[in-house]
Chains A and B, each alone.
Chain A
Amino acid sequence: MTTTPDPTVEPASEQAEMPFAIVQGSPVTVLPYDLYIPPDALEVFLEAFEGPLDLLLYLIRKQNLDILDIPVAPITKQYMSYIELMEELHIELAGEYLVMAAVLAEIKSRMLLPRPEGEEEEEDPRAELVRRLQEYERFKQAAEDLDALPRLERDLFAAVVEFPGRRSTLAPPQVTLDAVLSAFAEVLQRADFFSHHHVQREPLSVRERMSLVLERVRADDFTEFRSLFTPEEGRAGVIVALLAILELLKEGLIEMVQNEINGPIYVKAAA
């Protein structure tokens, strides 16, 4: 915990740049002038970095460096060359990459400053960066672990017997049949007034009437039950109308409500 000698040692400053190829036994560190690299290939590689921390980690791990003892100068140099390469390839650089470049430069310069004798121990200028790198790395690892967990749709498949597309039981209408029938009785009575008319025998289709009723009722408004009948049609006509309404009710296409006993019955299209 006392002062230390020779604070200017720059560790591993002679860290050799990784040769990217060995040609006839000699390492090659400079790209051959006429080497063609498809620009897309490099872009894919460079864009694979998830940010400056990821890039730094890559540089550190690639060279098997101790994360707690990063040789700042060479790493900064390598980092900058990647940044320049990305700029050359017109990869849109996130601002964070440039911030990191500044951070590295600052650490580098602080490392170069001699430490005053006898002063309280100062934190290693790299400490904060190392902390962040480690924190990022553990989540990078956690993400890989998470990805490796068996998961549904990839490794696991929920075993399910296909269930018939049946919804929960349709609740019976709140209106009692009695109420419907007594309302209908009234309609019938009125229809009787017109019974002396000679009704043309005309084919009455329940289906067709269902469509007509459906056209009349609306989902956002109530239609009075009785208004759906045309007493002038006579008995057969109103019965067909009733059958159509009951059929629609059964199919769940319309709803019926009666707010009070013996009150009017209202019909509306199912939402």
Chain B
Amino acid sequence: MTPEKIRNIVEAALMTATEPLSIARLDTMFEPDIDRPSRDEIRAALEHLAGGCDGRAVELKQVASGWRFQVRADYSEWVNRLFEEKPQRYSRALLETLAIIAYRQPITRGEIENIRGVSVSAGIVKTLQEREWVRVVGHRDVPGRPELLATTRQFLDYFNLKSLSDLPSLAEIKDFEHINPDLFESLDQAPAGEGAIAAAPPVDESKFPPDSNIVPISG
């Protein structure tokens, strides 16, 4: 098969697919062909197609479950005008819960509640599960065997991410002990004046928690 033909077949498949297609999935499409292309050739075709989208409103993007054609975010303003209904907004409670699960997975509801300082409503967890962004991956081996929640591939797909390590980095925690080893001493040296703005500049080391190697298993 010529690279051009592979490219066109891959493009055709991506155009009609309603979900991202992985290279493995694309590969199965060529199964009956005598001159079946290698996976490297398929990958090359994808990269060529992606390059061909330069300067266009549509891009070929690789997300967690595979490749998909999508309209670039730059044009959402106009595309959204086509729809009467506004895009759905999510509550802070839901987004905070989702963020904690994403960065701290696998995590129990109790642990989420510890961080947020309020109880996690069952409705939020249910919504997250219905959207297939979050699923139960197991149970913590403590009394009550609480469910362990983790994010899914669909979550990454939805938020345009290839893997969890693409998430924005968490802000650094300022260590109470180190920054302020002795409260009263520091008060003497630097009497209370304008309180320093405590927003810490994000540091690269905090890029991602150690559990970043957790890969959500699909299905």
Using a CB–CB cutoff of 8 Å, the interface residues on chain A facing chain B are 1, 4-7, 9, 11-12, 50-54, 63-69, 71, 94, 96, 100, 121, 124, 126-127, 130-132, 134-147, 149-161, 163
Task: Work out how many contacts link A and B, with CB atoms closer than 8 A.
Answer: 177
Tell me the complex Cα distance, A141–B172, Å. Answer: 11
For this complex, into which size category does the number of interface residues on chain B fall? 35 or more
Interface hit among B33-41, B68-76, B141-149:
B68-76
With A136-B116, A158-B18, A163-B18 known, 9 other A-B pairs at CB within 8 A are A4-B184, A68-B176, A96-B118, A124-B176, A132-B115, A143-B95, A150-B73, A150-B159, A157-B76
Interface hit among B22-30, B44-52, B85-93:
B85-93
Asked if A68 contacts B179 (CB within 8 A), the reply is: yes
By a CB distance below 8 angstroms, the chain A residues around B160 are 149-152, 155-156
Asked if B18 contacts A143 (CB within 8 A), the reply is: no
User: From residue 48 to 98 of chain B, which have CB atoms closer than 8 A to chain A?
Assistant: 58, 68-73, 76, 79-80, 87-88, 90, 92-93, 95-96, 98
Using a CB–CB cutoff of 8 Å, the interface residues on chain B facing chain A are 15-18, 58, 68-73, 76, 79-80, 87-88, 90, 92-93, 95-96, 98-100, 102-103, 115-119, 157-161, 167-168, 170-174, 176-177, 179-188, 192, 194-198
Other-chain contact of B15, A51, A96, A150, A159 (Cβ < 8 Å): A159
Asked if B76 contacts A156 (CB within 8 A), the reply is: yes
Asked if A139 contacts B16 (CB within 8 A), the reply is: no
Other-chain contact of A160, B16, B92, B159 (Cβ < 8 Å): B16
Other-chain contact of B181, A1, A137, A145 (Cβ < 8 Å): A1
Asked if B99 contacts A146 (CB within 8 A), the reply is: yes
Asked if B88 contacts A153 (CB within 8 A), the reply is: yes
Asked if B118 contacts A94 (CB within 8 A), the reply is: yes
16 cross-chain CB contacts under 8 A: A9-B187, A50-B93, A52-B118, A136-B115, A138-B170, A139-B100, A139-B170, A141-B170, A144-B95, A147-B90, A154-B87, A154-B88, A156-B76, A157-B76, A158-B70, A159-B58
Asked if B157 contacts A124 (CB within 8 A), the reply is: no
By a CB distance below 8 angstroms, the chain A residues around B72 are 156
Q: Closest 7 CB pairs between A and B?
A: A51-B118, A154-B87, A53-B117, A143-B95, A142-B99, A159-B69, A4-B184
Asked if A139 contacts B116 (CB within 8 A), the reply is: yes
Assess A154 versus B76: contact at CB under 8 Å? Given A142-B168, A149-B161: yes
Asked if B116 contacts A50 (CB within 8 A), the reply is: yes
By a CB distance below 8 angstroms, the chain B residues around A54 are 117
Other-chain contact of B198, A52, A67, A153 (Cβ < 8 Å): A67
